[in-house]
């Protein structure tokens, strides 16, 4: 009996070791917005020579959550980047698939820029302008509260103070966290400028969300995929178009493109850090605790990311466009990340 127990223990140990060393490179997926920050940390981490450079893929926040929450083991990612917080539904999917302990790391802030080529005039938009230009259904321009299919074709039709130019906006697809944040912050902020729609939230929250967050599908809004660099390139090629992406991509291309004013505020490091810029959000990554100690280097990668030399106000990620958390908050997040403290289920 004792011999068989020992033999079983040897088999279990061998199978765990086989799994442990079946992959010796950290696998990271998720947000295209967090991708340049995560890549910079991965490259610095790899240069230390102790561990291999992590593999970072840009799959979009929603796509990353699906991959991350699909299971535990070497076939599944260790970390997913996100340009919004994990949803309760995603947390539940993780739990159902055995991903029980998840460590949430809030890394800083980012603004969502609505930018165009420097070859043309800078736009000065209100959130109301943005919603009227891009919403699927809007109040009838002839008057009243009835909603009709969006008839606006030019910016001047939306607001007489804007250019008489065709509305053409390139932005992220539904799988993108940038899209999620944009519809919540910019679109919903704009639709609530209409009292009748704002009042709708009290009586029918689902309808209010559908009206406020629904983006038109008539070719005015062009889904440009998860590659924000591609949107930047298209803006340079088409000076009449606007593009929606994270502030970091604006910061890296200020010689070619410019951010529109939103409610009179230009997207800058300071305006986003102070929350004066109205379309700003927090950024995150999530760690699968079950993989820590099995896949080499996860704890050390997290320590690299949450070090002030990386994510601090003067860190190398600031050069990439990351807006740092306040010092006290950075210290708390870093301590929780080091302890690998699992998150609670999100409220929404």
Question: Among candidates 113, 43, 59, which has minimal Cα distance to 265?
Answer: 113
Tokens of 122: 């800078």
Give the residue-averaged pLDDT of 62-71.
97
Q: Which residue has the tokens 């340049």?
A: 36
Confidence of residue 262 (pLDDT cuts 50, 70, 90): very high
User: How do residues 207-219 score in pLDDT, each as one tens digit?
Assistant: 999 999 999 999 9
**What is the structure's pLDDT at 225?**
72
Tokens of 276: 């004066």
User: How do residues 176-231 score in pLDDT, each as one tens digit?
Assistant: 888 888 998 999 999 999 999 999 988 998 999 999 999 999 999 999 876 777 88
* Per-residue pLDDT at 32 exceeds 50: yes
Give the residue-averaged pLDDT of 276-303.
96
* Average model confidence (pLDDT) across the chain: 91
23-109+282-338 carries CATH number 2.60.40.60: no
* Per-residue pLDDT at 3 exceeds 80: no
Residue spans per domain, the chain = 23-109+282-338, 111-281
**How far from 270 is each of 123, 217, 264, 266, 305, CA to CA, in Å?**
20, 35, 15, 10, 22
Contact assessment for residue 304 and residue 45, using Cβ atoms and an 8 Å cutoff: yes
User: How do residues 92-144 score in pLDDT, each as one tens digit?
Assistant: 999 999 999 999 999 999 899 999 999 999 999 999 999 999 999 999 998 88
Asked whether this chain's domains 23-109+282-338 and 111-281 adopt the same fold, the reply is yes
**What is the structure's pLDDT at 210?**
94
**What is the structure's pLDDT at 212?**
95
Confidence of residue 329 (pLDDT cuts 50, 70, 90): very high
Give domain 111-281's CATH architecture: 3-Layer(aba) Sandwich (3.40)
* Per-residue pLDDT at 165 exceeds 60: yes
- Cα separation, 119 vs 326, in Å, equals 36
The pTM assigned to this predicted structure is 0.78
């Amino acid at each position: 009996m004792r011999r068989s127990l020992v033999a079983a223990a040897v088999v279990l140990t061998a199978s765990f070791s086989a799994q442990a060393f079946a992959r010796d490179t950290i696998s990271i997926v998720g947000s295209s917005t967090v991708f340049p920050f995560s890549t910079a940390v991965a490259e610095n981490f790899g240069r230390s020579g102790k561990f291999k450079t992590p593999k970072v893929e840009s799959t979009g926040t929603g796509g990353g959550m699906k991959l991350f929450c699909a299971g535990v083991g070497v076939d599944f990612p260790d970390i997913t980047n996100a340009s919004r917080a994990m949803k309760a539904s995603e947390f539940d999917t993780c739990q159902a698939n055995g991903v029980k302990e998840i460590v949430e790391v809030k890394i800083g802030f980012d603004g969502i820029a609505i930018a165009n080529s420097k070859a043309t005039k800078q736009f000065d938009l209100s959130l109301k302008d943005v919603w009227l230009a891009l919403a699927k259904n809007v109040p009838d321009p002839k008057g009243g509260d009835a909603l009709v299919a969006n008839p606006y074709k030019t910016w001047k039709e939306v607001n007489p103070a804007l250019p008489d130019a065709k509305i053409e906006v390139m932005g992220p697809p539904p799988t993108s966290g940038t899209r999620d944040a944009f519809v919540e912050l910019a679109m919903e902020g704009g639709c609530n400028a209409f009292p009748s729609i704002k009042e709708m939230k009290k009586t029918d929250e689902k309808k209010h969300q559908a009206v406020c967050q629904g983006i038109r599908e008539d070719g005015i809004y062009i889904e440009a995929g998860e590659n924000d660099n591609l949107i930047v390139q298209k803006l340079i090629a088409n000076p009449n178009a606007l593009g929606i992406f994270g502030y970091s991509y604006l910061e890296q291309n200020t010689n070619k493109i410019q951010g529109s004013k939103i409610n009179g505020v230009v997207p800058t490091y300071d305006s986003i850090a102070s929350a004066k810029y109205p379309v700003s959000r927090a950024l995150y990554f999530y760690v699968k605790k079950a993989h820590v100690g099995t896949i080499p280097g996860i704890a050390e990668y997290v320590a690299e990311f949450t070090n002030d030399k990386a994510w601090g106000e003067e860190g190398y990620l600031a050069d990439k466009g990351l807006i740092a958390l306040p010092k006290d908050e950075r210290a708390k997040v870093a301590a929780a990340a080091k302890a690998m403290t699992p998150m609670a289920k999100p409220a929404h």
